[in-house]
Chain A
Amino acid sequence: MRRALFILLRNPLSLIGIILVAVVVLSALSADFLTPFPADRGAAVHFELANQPPDWPHIFGTDLVGRDLFSRIIFAYRISLFLGVVVLAIAVPVGVTIGLVAGYFGGWIEFLLMRITDVFLSIPPLVLAMSIMGVLAPTLTNGMLAVTAMWWPWYTRLVYNLARSEKEEGYVLAAEIIGASKPHILFREILPNCVPAILTKMTLDMGFVILIVSSLSFLGLGVQPPTPDLGSMVAEGAGYMPDSWWLTVFPGLAILFAVFGFNLLGDALRELLGVEQ
């Protein structure tokens, strides 16, 4: 534990990553108390305050209907993080299980599962998500569904490669000779040895999920108004550049802040857990 702390704190970039992620997560969790105008998260309208540059008490300015931009950004973090957690909570177990099965059993099972995975991997993620969103109604649930559908194959590929090398290790052979069940070998013997790599990728992916959800929202396919979302805020303000620069710049910086934080933390974890690139 002390060694872990030492490694994390030794590298200034890791420290920055931890701080950025902590700020994002803590502010999202305590958005109700932290934000000066929590009511502005929804469909509030204050036309008398519309489109004002940053000033006290609206430190990031106000949007086109007069809502406090700072409050909306913090609440948007909450949505983004929630989406990220839900997407990974579905994509990771699915992808990891398929990868373990394909890597361990080999043969036609491997062929079938990995070709399906390759098909998903060959489609540019944003295109896949957009086509799913195009068919389904652009709701929050469908947005999560779309992003999840394009996320699991990356975990399949990661775990598949790990499982293929782990199954050659003596401890797997020993478990087979003892007569342990296949689920035991997959999830209790091989999986624990994949956890560091999976954990590292999950941290990095939190940033990417936030980015991709923002991209979808930017295109009008993700989170729908009046729910605050960083991508839709950037899109909304883009037409008012450069005069109302705060409409775009602050949500944009907020995306950068979160994605950068999760990336640095992911790199730090990779170093800490000794995951090979």
Chain B
Amino acid sequence: MTAPILSLQSVSKTFFLAGREVRAVDDVSIDVAEGECLAIVGESGSGKSTLANMILGVYPPTAGTIAYRGTPLPARRELKHRRLIQFVQQNPLSALNPQRSVGVSLRLALDVHGIGKKSERRAEVGRLLEEVGLPASFMTRAPAALSGGQRQRVAIARALACRSEIVVLDEPTSALDVLVQARVLRLLQELRKARGLTYVFITHDLSVVRNIAERVAVFEKGRLVETGATGTIFSTPERPYTRRLIGAVPVVTDAEMALREQLTEEFTGERNESA
């Protein structure tokens, strides 16, 4: 059997805050298979984002190893490691540098990793934009001239620009309004299929999980308390904590579904942005 594309072995992270030890992630082991979408769910402060940052190499784990296809990744990542694992963050408003055009932001990944010939990178930026459903002409635009959903598409294009294999998505849709949310999720699904990507999808929105993830990992206070196929977790949650999480999802009845068309027309407000 081939090694999983991403493998976490007893990974822990301890922070020291005001003299107190805080175990943000506590002895987590989990494998991610190539091409799958693993959802990581849990409440705010359950260690989801800390785990994401360690996978991305923002900081190394205090203990344990993170391996790519069986090879442990070093604490200080080299460029070749950075290329493999990319990131789409929650807030599309701050994800792009307001002083640089969309094209310049996208080109950075190509320049840093030396992808393609210099003369062809401009065309590549255009192709990337088209791949995420935006016109290539957007490359000259400032981020301020784009809507939240469009910016998130650019951020997705940036994560794919260096031909990454694993994408960590930290609540990529929670700052978008519902209609845009659905479109961005659909785009992410299409890209995964077309490029054979592996997703680590962090969210606390279980309705999103149901739409996109094959497998779910439930976090509680830094510990991995339950993993399983999405369907199994939703139908027969083992842990009371998981049951509470699922129970917290507002249930939509048939009567409410019938009203949906009218509701979505009015609902344009942004969702809360808390992590």
Residues of A within 8 A of B (CB): 169-171, 173-181, 184, 188-189, 192-193, 195
Cβ–Cβ contact B100 & A174, under 8 A = no
Q: Please, which residues of chain B bring their CB within 8 A of the CB of A188?
A: 100
Cβ–Cβ contact A177 & B82, under 8 A = yes
Give the complex CA separation of A169 and B95 in angstroms: 7
For A171, give its contact among B105, B109, B162 (CB under 8 Å): B105
Question: What is the chain B residue whose CB lies nearest that of A195?
Answer: B99
Which are the 9 A-B pairs with shortest beta-carbon distances? Answer: A192-B99, A179-B82, A170-B94, A170-B95, A171-B97, A169-B94, A179-B79, A177-B87, A178-B109
Question: What is the chain B residue whose CB lies nearest that of A171?
Answer: B97
CB distance from B43 to the nearest CB of A (A): 22
Q: Please, which residues of chain B bring their CB within 8 A of the CB of A181?
A: 112
For A170, give its contact among B79, B91, B108 (CB under 8 Å): B91
Give the complex CA separation of A174 and B152 in angstroms: 13
Given contacts A171-B94, A189-B97, contact A177 B58 (CB under 8 A): yes
Q: How large is the interface on B (under 10, 10 to 19, 20 to 34, 35 or more residues)?
A: 20 to 34
Q: Please, which residues of chain B bring their CB within 8 A of the CB of A193?
A: 97-99
Give the complex CA separation of A8 and B218 in angstroms: 56
Give the complex CA separation of A193 and B109 in angstroms: 20
In the assembled complex, B203 has its CB within 8 A of some CB on chain A = no
Q: Please, which residues of chain A bring their CB within 8 A of the CB of B82?
A: 177-179
Cβ–Cβ contact A180 & B112, under 8 A = yes
1/0 per residue, CB under 8 A from A, across B104-126: the answer is: 01001100110000000000000
Q: Please, which residues of chain B bring their CB within 8 A of the CB of A177?
A: 56-58, 82, 86-87
Q: Please, which residues of chain A bring their CB within 8 A of the CB of B113?
A: 178-179
Question: What is the chain B residue whose CB lies nearest that of A172?
Answer: B97
18 A-B pairs (CB sep. < 8 Å): A169-B94, A170-B96, A173-B89, A174-B89, A175-B108, A177-B57, A177-B86, A177-B87, A178-B82, A178-B108, A178-B158, A179-B79, A179-B82, A179-B83, A179-B112, A179-B113, A192-B100, A193-B99
CB distance from A199 to the nearest CB of B (A): 13
Cβ–Cβ contact B108 & A180, under 8 A = yes
Query: Could you say which of A178, A179, A181, A184 has the most chain B C-beta atoms within 10 Å of its C-beta?
Result: A178
For B96, give its contact among A171, A176, A192 (CB under 8 Å): A171
Given contacts A170-B89, A171-B105, A173-B58, contact A178 B112 (CB under 8 A): yes
Q: Please, which residues of chain B bring their CB within 8 A of the CB of A189?
A: 97, 100
Q: Please, which residues of chain B bring their CB within 8 A of the CB of A184?
A: 108
Q: Please, which residues of chain A bring their CB within 8 A of the CB of B99?
A: 192-193, 195
In the assembled complex, B197 has its CB within 8 A of some CB on chain A = no
Q: Please, which residues of chain A bring their CB within 8 A of the CB of B58?
A: 173, 176-177
CB distance from A14 to the nearest CB of B (A): 24
Give the complex CA separation of A179 and B114 in angstroms: 12
CB distance from B114 to the nearest CB of A (A): 11
Question: What is the chain A residue whose CB lies nearest that of B80?
Answer: A179
Question: What is the chain A residue whose CB lies nearest that of B89?
Answer: A170
CB distance from B221 to the nearest CB of A (A): 25
Q: Please, which residues of chain A bring their CB within 8 A of the CB of B112?
A: 178-181
In the assembled complex, B155 has its CB within 8 A of some CB on chain A = yes
1/0 per residue, CB under 8 A from A, across B72-91: the answer is: 00000101001100110101
Query: Could you say which of A169, A173, A177, A181 has the most chain B C-beta atoms within 10 Å of its C-beta?
Result: A177
Q: Please, which residues of chain B bring their CB within 8 A of the CB of A180?
A: 108, 112
